[in-house]
Amino acid sequence: MKACGLIVEYNPFHNGHLYHQEASRTKTNAEVTVAVMSSSFLQRGEPAIIDKFSRTQAALEHGVDIVVELPFIYAVQYADLFAYGAVSILNALGVDYLCFGSESGDITEFTKNYDYFNAHEDLFNEIRQNHLNEGESFPQASTKAYEAIGLRDGKLDLGQPNNILGFSYVKALRHLNSYIQPETITRTKSHYHDETIDYSIASATSIRKDLFNAGELSDLSRKALPEETIKQLINYQQASGLWHEWELYFSYLQLLVQTHSHEQLRHIHGMIEGLEFRLKQTVNQANNFQEWMELLKTKRYTWTRLQRMFVHLLTNTTKTEVDQYKERKEPPYIRLLGMSSRGREWINLRKKSLDVPLITNLQQLSDPLLNIEERATDAYYSPIPPQKRYSLKRQEIKGPIILK
């Protein structure tokens, strides 16, 4: 049984992923789909609208066979570290393919360019570091460095967000000397930032906006979202009383900024130089999260960068903690969140040859990475009333979700 690995978030803007999932399987002829999924917070620095258990359920109902957790420490990071964490898990699991969507859609462009990149990697790192030192964001600096070593014009366009992410996957595969074969499909035109709902393939931002403005599922969202996702959105709102968004965490973030010293803020991962002062200066000027972000945002402190920093502030994730996981070749564990019966078959075949413990709940192992994961879950659930929160949290120590 060949398995195809996907790296996903399954926040209710799945359609892109659903399409991607379908297409990947067709392309690789794999019989099993294994998804590495972000847990409570997403790569762009946002709380997932519904929790990881609901998203696992939706993913399984959408036809994914296995869902494993992308540890929080890797999930809310710039492309290279996000990719490294996710790929190291697929590699430890031993899938056969890794499929991703890209603007390019041609895998040879990625692999060919990797060889070129590899020969110029030192120069690339130096140039990127210079741009980072000048205060540019990670994607900006990366794009410029790719360009400077001659990796943009006429070859793979590393100014496109999905190409950048895909190239990070290929780099991670090579760094890990992985046997996994990369494959890519063209990513359709619905972009991340579109603000109006597209009936066929809706973007994250437009659905999110629609959800939070109405506080309930509008007809538009119902048309744009797959049935399984709608079911999970409704179930989750019944169980928790809410859908997660930054506004719900605003007063927690304010309290943390108000009560931390500058020195303490500087320990937080993502607190770029000077940002601690800007946070303190603006904390009492905004009436909500959106307003605060507008006050904070500059060319240097991009929206994504600020949001990621807020995730790390909320969860008290320090620079020291993240640095420990940057160069790790193997994940300390693989956590299974859910599986179909076909997924279970595949897992049973793979089980014996795994070098890494396969766990299904939070108490099965004692590991610092799991403590960080629990912190992230706790912080994520904070705005939910205690009684409801406990039954949600209890899922952390149940077995995996099994689709019959």
- Binding residue per annotation — 16? yes
With CB under 8 A as the rule, give the number of residues binding its own copies. Answer: 27
- Binding residue per annotation — 45? no
Among 196, 288, 290, 363, binds its own copies (CB under 8 A): 288
Pairing of strands 97-102, 66-70: unpaired
- Binding residue per annotation — 179? no
Cα 165 from Cα 227, distance rounded (Å):
29
CB of 24 to its own copies, least distance (A): 37
- Residue 255 engages its own copies in binding (rule: CB under 8 A): yes
Q: What 3-state class would DSSP assign to 4?
A: strand
- Binding residue per annotation — 19? yes
Q: DSSP alpha helices (H): ranges in 297-359?
A: 303-314, 319-324, 341-350
Unique residue bearing structure tokens 């996702």: 229
Cα 377 from Cα 360, distance rounded (Å):
16
- Residue 258 engages its own copies in binding (rule: CB under 8 A): yes
Cα 394 from Cα 89, distance rounded (Å):
25
CB of 78 to its own copies, least distance (A): 23
- Residue 250 engages its own copies in binding (rule: CB under 8 A): yes
Among 19, 212, 252, 303, binds its own copies (CB under 8 A): 252
- Residue 260 engages its own copies in binding (rule: CB under 8 A): yes
Q: What are the structure tokens assigned to 153, written together? A: 């014009």
CA 14 to chain centre: 13
- Three-point CA angle 277, 279, 281, nearest 5°: 70
Q: Are 360 and 230 in contact (CB under 8 A)?
A: no
Please, which residue, 44 or 388, has the CB nearer to its own copies? 388
Among 106, 390, 391, 399, binds its own copies (CB under 8 A): 390
- Residue 393 engages its own copies in binding (rule: CB under 8 A): yes
- Binding residue per annotation — 272? no
- Binding residue per annotation — 162? yes
Whole-number Cα distances in Å, 256 to 78, 331, 377: 24, 31, 18
Please, which residue, 142 or 395, has the CB nearer to its own copies? 395
CB of 282 to its own copies, least distance (A): 13
38 φ, ψ to 5°?
A: -55, 145
194, exposed or middle or buried, with CB in 10 Å at 0-12, 13-18, 19+?
middle
Please, which residue, 243 or 250, has the CB nearer to its own copies? 250
- Residue 315 engages its own copies in binding (rule: CB under 8 A): yes
Q: What are the structure tokens assigned to 161, written together? A: 């967000």
Listed ranges 41-49, 174-182, 253-261, 300-308: which one lies at the site for its own copies (CB under 8 A): 253-261
CB of 388 to its own copies, least distance (A): 10
Binding-site residues for ATP, please?
Answer: 7-20, 101, 162, 187
Residues in contact with its own copies by the rule CB under 8 A: 250-252, 254-255, 258-261, 264, 284, 286-288, 314-316, 374-375, 378-379, 382-383, 386-387, 390, 393
